[in-house]
Amino acid sequence: MAQKKTFLQDIENPAELFISSKAEAPAPAQTQEAPAGKAPEGYHANPLYIENKSKRLQLLTKPSTAEKLRAKAQREGRSVNDIVNTILEEALREE
The whole-number mean pLDDT for each consecutive block of 10 residues of the chain, a chain of 95 residues, reads: 68 74 63 63 74 82 95 95 92 83
Domain membership of residue 70 (yes or no) is: yes
Q: Model pTM?
A: 0.45
Contacts of 84 (CB under 8 A, 6+ apart): 59, 69
- Cα 43 to Cα 36, 40, 71, 86, 93: the distances in Å are 14, 6, 42, 31, 31
**How many structural domains are present in the chain?**
1
Instruction: Give domain status of residue 68, yes or no.
Output: yes
How many residues are recorded in the chain?
95
Query: Could you give the CA distance from residue 62 to residue 54 in angstroms, rounded to a whole number?
Result: 25
64 lies in some domain: yes
Question: Is 37 a member of any domain?
Answer: no
Contact 8, 14 (CB under 8 A): yes
Asked if the structure places residue 22 within a domain, the reply is no
Domain assignment of residue 82, yes or no:
yes
Domain that holds residue 89: 60-95
The pLDDT value given to residue 39: 67
The answer to the question of residue 48 being in a domain is no
Residue 20 lies in a domain: no
